[in-house]
Structure 1
Amino acid sequence: MTLTIADENRVRTLTLDRPEALNAFDEELYDATTVALRAAAEDAEVSVVLLTGTGRSFSAGTDLAEMQARITDPGFTPGQYGFLGLVDALAEFPKPLICAVNGFGIGIGATILGFADLAFMATTARLKCPFTSLGVAPEAASSYLLPQLVGRQNAAWMLMSSEWISAQEAHRMGLVWKVCEPDDLLPEARRHAEVLASRPLSSLMAVKRTMTAPLAAGIAAARDRENACFAELMGSADNASALADFNQPKS
């Protein structure tokens, strides 16, 4: 099981649960999370989804061993939904989505915050968008959503530098709403989730729909641009070299 699901007081908590891989998304986890979000969207007993991770990582992003296998292994079998399916589910999710970043978030573990309605982050957590260090392009409409959230220059630094962003910096930028001590993170995120879940679901969904509708065309266009750039750069000399170096056994 790579994803655990728990319901309480109309809040469905999805916990990324691959601690041995720092909750990196392999094809199985992409599919499981996509299915879980779609199920929550359809379930009238669920008003809010809270997404977090287990262990010391929120998510280490896409499993880079699988990314390399996609390039080098002719027999690689992609999942049913994969990365693009998860981003579809996030973009279409009609209910409040709360992220509780318990540890470091890399790649999709950071860019997923562009789809969060509220984001909480532990004081010890950090974020990184490693695209330039891997020789690839941005993902998950982050080239559009991050400038909307944090301003162009903050977004440019995050997407171009491949440097770590502290919880305090993410809060200053406006990428996360509240920073909590690690032991307080989930209780605080859950407390706020339950406040929202106590409101009429139809009203929650109407608020979200009216807030996100103006962004839909921009998200779709950004994803098309990003996917085209990603396809162009994936497997390039820079990308292949970065992945090979990353996946080499460390002494």
Structure 2
Amino acid sequence: MSEHIFTARADGVMRIEIRRPHKRNALDFAMYAALHAALEQGDADPAVRVMLLCGQAQVFSAGNDLDDFFDPRTLSLDSPVWAFMRTIAAVGKPLVAAVAGNAIGVGTTLLLHCDLVYAAESARFRLPFVPLGICPEFGSSSLLPQRIGHARAAELLFFGESFDAHTAWRFGLVNEVCGEAELMPRAHERARTLADLPQASLRLAKHLLKAPGARQTQQIMDDEMWHFMTRVRSDEARAAFRRLGAGAASRPAG
């Protein structure tokens, strides 16, 4: 288990916190493996009824840690990156996210697999795949237009520009925008309310909501992964990452 992924259980809620602020919560292999393990454990633990994913007040996640991003293991089918992605897409219990600060690349796309998302006023989202010479990932090429429509999804994915919490709410990507001090209490309150509901009914409702597109989403994620592996080796991607300059390991990669 990575020291940068913290878990705690109380009142039927398992909190999973990304805690690597000195690297802006950029995700490395160990963190992906720990997130994968935490989600599997929470889904299997009868005492856990809801899972709550969060970062800190300053940052949710800056995306992939580029030190690992260029590791050949990233592009293998048994990578902890892909294990995490498949697990969060298939988890059976409700998953709530609380977002403050930057959510970049995978920091945004993982939210498409959460059931409820609460954002602080400080939250900023970005999908910088095309400007980096790579391609959408984690099912975003399908889930995003389903959620917000083709035109809006194209604008966010093509330009890779940052957008704020109120834009995310207006587009339907977050359920509610909260003040900074209210974010975690509000997210915890909603998670505890879910934990008090009839659990078989709640999980069935989640299954029925996701079932129509679940198989398609998994196929799209696999297709995206194949294209992603091709793009990350391309001259365009290499040039884009070189432009990030020295010390790019903690910068967003997607």
Q: What's the TM-score once normalised by structure 2's chain length?
A: 0.92
The answer to whether the Cα contact below 8 Å between 1:96 and 1:205 also exists between their aligned partners in 2 is yes
Q: Which residue of 2 aligns with 1:24?
A: 26
Give the whole-Å Cα distance in 1 for the aligned partners of 2:221 and 2:229: 12
Give the whole-Å Cα distance in 1 for the aligned partners of 2:41 and 2:20: 21
Letter in 2 for 1:97: L
Q: Which residue of 2 aligns with 1:85?
A: 83
User: 1:25-50 CA deviation, whole Å, 9 max, x = no partner?
Assistant: 10010000000000001001001000
Q: Which residue of 2 aligns with 1:118?
A: 116
Match of 1:239 among 237, 240, 252: 237
Asked whether 1:11 is paired with 2:13, we answer yes
The answer to whether the Cα contact below 8 Å between 1:64 and 1:247 also exists between their aligned partners in 2 is no
After the TM superposition, which parts of structure 1 deviate over 6 Å for at least 4 consecutive aligned residues? Answer: 75-80
SS, match of residue 134 in structure 1: coil
The answer to whether the Cα contact below 8 Å between 1:64 and 1:243 also exists between their aligned partners in 2 is no
The aligned length equals 246
Q: Which residue of 2 aligns with 1:67?
A: 69
SS, match of residue 133 in structure 1: coil
Give the whole-Å Cα distance in 1 for the aligned partners of 2:215 and 2:90: 12
Q: What's the TM-score once normalised by structure 1's chain length?
A: 0.93
Residues 28 and 77 of structure 1, relative CA distance in 2, 3 Å threshold: farther
Q: Which runs of 5+ in 2 are unaligned?
A: 249-254
User: 1:196-247 CA deviation, whole Å, 9 max, x = no partner?
Assistant: 1001221111111111111112202211221121122112111111222224
Give the whole-Å Cα distance in 1 for the aligned partners of 2:184 and 2:76: 33
Q: Which runs of 5+ in 1 are unaligned?
A: none
Q: Which residue of 2 aligns with 1:193?
A: 191
Q: After TM superposition, give the deviation of residue 8 of structure 1 in Å.
A: 1.2
The answer to whether the Cα contact below 8 Å between 1:19 and 1:55 also exists between their aligned partners in 2 is no
